Copies of this chain bind each other. A is one copy, B any other.
Amino acid sequence: VTTTTLPASWVNGIAVPTDAPAVSVRDRGLTLGDGVFETMRVQGGRIFRRQRHLFRLQAALGELHFPPVPDLDRWLTEATAALGGGDGSIRLTVTRGIASGGWAPPTDARPTVIVIVGPMPAFPSEIYERGLTLRVAGDRRNEYARTATLKTIGYADSVLALIEAHQAGADDALFLDTAGHCSEATASNLFISRGDELITPPTSCGALPGITRRTIMEIGMTMGLRVVERALDTNDLIGADEAFLTSSLRGVAPVVRLQHNEIGNARPGALTTRLRAAYTALVARECGVGT
């Protein structure tokens, strides 16, 4: 097994140094955020839910009227090989490519495909053992924008909310939608449990249709929970038995506090722990690790 120095990066299938010049200053990803991306988890050399990620990406490209983007599957395979059968993360970004000024895409747009392979980030174990404190973001998610449910490049709102959450002593920010419903955290979906119900906000509240969100919903159903998408307000969150956030790399992260309000007994709950273990096992099983 050859191991490549990580992170390793490719632009349109050509290897590039990760922190050296690689993309044009007129790439529309950089000038207008005109592109979408996926962040994927690799275990034992295989991408978890690879087809779902590719499907979601292609659907987003279609929604944004991109021309067809070939070879994504092949480039993912080559990138995954850089992990030499090990664990890691892959970010796949597709932008509308280089263009001169103006918002209207050129009729002959040639998308730029960027792949970055990195190690699996080391999340502090306290996240899982102690749980997260959320702060309500000062801004709102826009449930009236289709891009709210597409993983487009424009995450300045999330960056700002995360900075301000950290300044306020919280771990992450919870976005409400403009109607005041819980939407999602800066880069992850929200779940609460109450009795035998496992509830997550619908995408109509501006929440991204997360791959991990979907996986947890499936796991919840196999556990016999009543899994529902339903609008939640902050009182629902505070009054929940348990709460947690889901994302591809951090997985299932318990939420124990919304600002000064404790959720449940202010410790990671039993169901959250069970779902997290089931998720970890599912990832290993589907990636063929330990079989």
Please give the residue numbers on chain A whose beta carbons come within 8 Å of chain B beta carbons, in ascending order.
Answer: 7, 9, 11, 16, 18-35, 37, 39, 63-65, 89, 91, 93, 95-96, 98, 100-105, 114, 116, 118, 121, 138-142, 144-147, 150, 152-160, 162-163, 166, 178, 186-187, 249
Contacts and interface: CB of A to CB of B under 8 A. Distances in A.
B24 A25 contact: no
B114 A101 contact: no
Copies in the complex: 2
Contact of A142 (B64, B98, B163, B178): B178
Contacts of A100: 7, 118
A144 B147 contact: no
Contacts of A153: 30-33, 153-154, 156
Given A21-B22, A25-B116, A31-B93, A147 B157 contact: yes
A39 B25 CA distance: 14
Contacts of A21: 11, 16, 20-24
A155 B32 contact: yes
A91 to B, nearest CB: 7
A89 B118 CA distance: 38
Looking at A30, A32, A64, A65, the one whose CB has the most chain B CB atoms below 10 A away is A30
B29 A9 contact: no
Contacts of A141: 142
30 contacts: A9-B25, A11-B21, A20-B24, A21-B23, A21-B24, A22-B23, A23-B23, A23-B27, A25-B114, A25-B116, A26-B116, A32-B153, A32-B154, A32-B156, A32-B158, A63-B160, A64-B159, A65-B160, A100-B118, A101-B118, A103-B187, A104-B159, A104-B163, A105-B159, A140-B144, A141-B142, A142-B145, A142-B178, A147-B156, A153-B154
